[in-house]
Amino acid sequence: MKLVISRSKKASVTVEKKIVGKIDTGLLILVGFTNGDTIEDINYLIDKVIHLRIFDDEKGLQNKSLLDVNGSILSVSQFTLYADTKKGRRPSYVEALKKEEAEQLYQLWNQKLSEFVTVETGIFGAHMEVELLNDGPITIIMESRGKTC
């Protein structure tokens, strides 16, 4: 499981000219799944995300978590996080989890995440336009494989 996390002042997702998800202060998270991902990967990354101290305290230091600032999450599925670009000019997506399985894990990710914070989403599998006012800018990549985060 791979996440690209951006601290946000505001973010939104539009599908067919209609905003389907929108947040203010919080995190825009692009979410990708690969073969072998399980609920343990989801639980591990949820704990990391909600406690990640990347919001400024009163002194301007990154000492506050999403929970501390009462922030929200805009969760957007993105299989292209598992693009392999080592050969040729066209990315290969063979490492991305198959659509049906990825959708189940994505729904579970959002459901479990919503137990802790407000979660808005895009639409799985849809062509989406994502807007972000990145605060910082702060962008972090996390993976559950090998617990590299």
Instruction: Supply the residues annotated as catalytic.
Output: 78-80
> Is residue 102 a contact partner of residue 33, using CB atoms and an 8 Å limit?
yes
Tell me the two tokens of residue 136: 């910082």
d(CA 125, CA 115): 24
DSSP 8-state code for residue 117: S
Q: Report the run of H or E that residue 51 belongs to, with start and end.
A: helix 39-51
Question: Sign (positive/negative) of CA torsion 142, 146, 148, 149?
Answer: positive
